[in-house]
Amino acid sequence: MNHDAYDDDYIRGILNGVKSIAMVGASPVNVRPSYFAFKYLAQRGYDMIPVNPGHVGKLLLGKPFVAALSDIGGPVDMIDIFRNSSHIIPVVEEALKLTPLPKVIWMQLGARDDAAAGKAEAAGLKVVMNRCPKIEYGRLSSEISWMGVNSRTLSSKRAPIPTQGMRLSLNRSSLGGGETAASNRAAKKSEPT
């Protein structure tokens, strides 16, 4: 696997195929990137599990923190590692002890460990490094382009305006869009008269 460039179908397949995500390094502090990613993915229908031993006893958006992956008590599809690269190998080794094994190990932006990736792939898991599932979801679903973010994807075809319940390219319902005065005006202009 070339971990320097991922095919969109590979990322799309992961985001469509997983239902539960354990976020290692999740934070209840609402200005932390892990909080934003956790909240965004939870709003898109993923069953999110916050993993952080420093916050056991607290809740993150109604979900109780667990200290370790082994404390989850059920199967999990994806492990999203919100830790720096020096802390990845212990998380991957813990994930490889789970029964059943997760389907995916995902390392957040700035996190890369090729040895850990090799161990996970040898066990049959898919691996993504140095990417954010929140950003990838937004990019592949076209939500990100309607939020004023340059996705660096050139196309002469404008993405559809996301509206409540609309099925996007990731085959999940949109929760954003269609609720502002500007987007409502844009939607009315594009409707046939």
pLDDT confidence of residue 74: 93
DSSP 3-state of 130: coil
CA-to-CA distance for 4 and 25, rounded, in angstroms? 24
Q: Which domains does the chain have, with CATH numbers?
A: 8-135 (3.40.50.720), 144-190 (no CATH)
- Count Cβ atoms below 10 Å from residue 172 Cβ, excluding itself: 16
**By the 8 A CB rule, do 82 and 105 touch?**
no
Crossing angle of helices 114-122 and 88-95, in 10° steps, is 10
User: Looking at residues 17-34, what average pLDDT do you find?
Assistant: 95
Q: Is the pLDDT of residue 55 over 80?
A: yes
Q: What mean pLDDT comes out for the span 78-90? A: 95
**pTM exceeds 0.85:** no
Question: What is the reported pLDDT for 191?
Answer: 58
Greater confidence (74 vs 181) lies with 74
pLDDT of residue 130: 96
pLDDT tens profile 127-182:
999 999 999 998 888 776 555 555 455 555 555 555 555 555 565 555 544 344 44
